[in-house]
Amino acid sequence: ALHEKRVASKYNKAALARCKDVADFRVKTRENMRKGREAVRKGLQSMGNRIKLSVEGFTAVFGAPGTHGYGEHLLEEERGLHTILMDSKADMAQIFTKTLAKGRGRARIRFYAQEEQCVVDKVGI
């Protein structure tokens, strides 16, 4: 039952199975990644402020919970709260340009799925 709930969730809205073909999937994925990165960039530039970010954009950039090349992705499922922890410039460079990562050593990004908003609230060495 949990698997069915997750497959039907909005996190999978842009999944390949829900697209008309692979080309459509690629177009949607690129667009979601662009929008997701753009929202997090805004968050990095306006620390502590809530920034609009769709579930599809968040998922395209950060994927599922776990350990990734960019750092840790944690989930408090009952609250719908995702926390991304990037501990170094190298982690940030996995997702963002070196220019954006320059001068930033760490970042914590919180994503509130129900509100479709993210907050970047911790950057520094």
Quick one: pLDDT at residue 91? 78
Q: Residue for token digits 């199975």?
A: 17
When pLDDT is cut at 50, 70 and 90, the band that residue 125 belongs to is very low
Q: Is the dihedral of CA 95, 67, 115, 44 positive or negative?
A: negative
Count of beta carbons in the 10 Å neighbourhood of residue 107 = 26
CA atoms of 20 and 31, how far apart (whole Å): 16
Q: What is the pLDDT of residue 34?
A: 92
Region 89-114 average pLDDT? 75
Coil vs helix vs strand at 23: helix
DSSP readout, 64-75? SSEEETTEEEEE
pLDDT-wise least confident of 19-33, 58-72, 86-100, 106-120: 86-100
